[in-house]
Amino acid sequence: LVFAGYAPDADLVALYSSCELFVFPSLHEGFGLPALEAMACGAPTIGSDASSIPEVIGERDALFDPKRLDDIAHKLTHALDDAGFRRALSEHG
């Protein structure tokens, strides 16, 4: 688990490309650029079903309710335990 904080643009591709799973639990988002960038780098991406994130991710099975910790935990567990699901998320991106 990495809470990277600010990362320079030059480091983002390497970070996105090397992650096992990119999780975007945003409650309010203008567009959702981090999720889009992660997907473009092939990172399996899950995120909240709030704001613009569903449109950016575009895959219902990759979404969770960001206000329900049990829903986030379930989606994280599913994604980390199921290599086929992660592969499908990567291919979708």
Instruction: Give the pLDDT confidence score for residue 16 in this predicted structure.
Output: 95
The average pLDDT across 64-69 equals 97
Instruction: Give the pLDDT confidence score for residue 44 in this predicted structure.
Output: 98
At 4, the pLDDT band (50, 70, 90 cuts) reads confident
pLDDT digits (tens, 9 = 90+) for 39-56: 999 999 999 999 999 999
DSSP the chain: -----S--HHHHHHHHHH-S-EEE--SS-SS-HHHHHHHHTT--EEEESSTTHHHHH--GGGEE-TT-HHHHHHHHHHHHH-HHHHHHHHHH-
- Are the CB atoms for 22 and 44 separated by under 8 Å? yes
Q: Is 59's pLDDT higher than 90?
A: yes
Instruction: Give the pLDDT confidence score for residue 10 in this predicted structure.
Output: 87
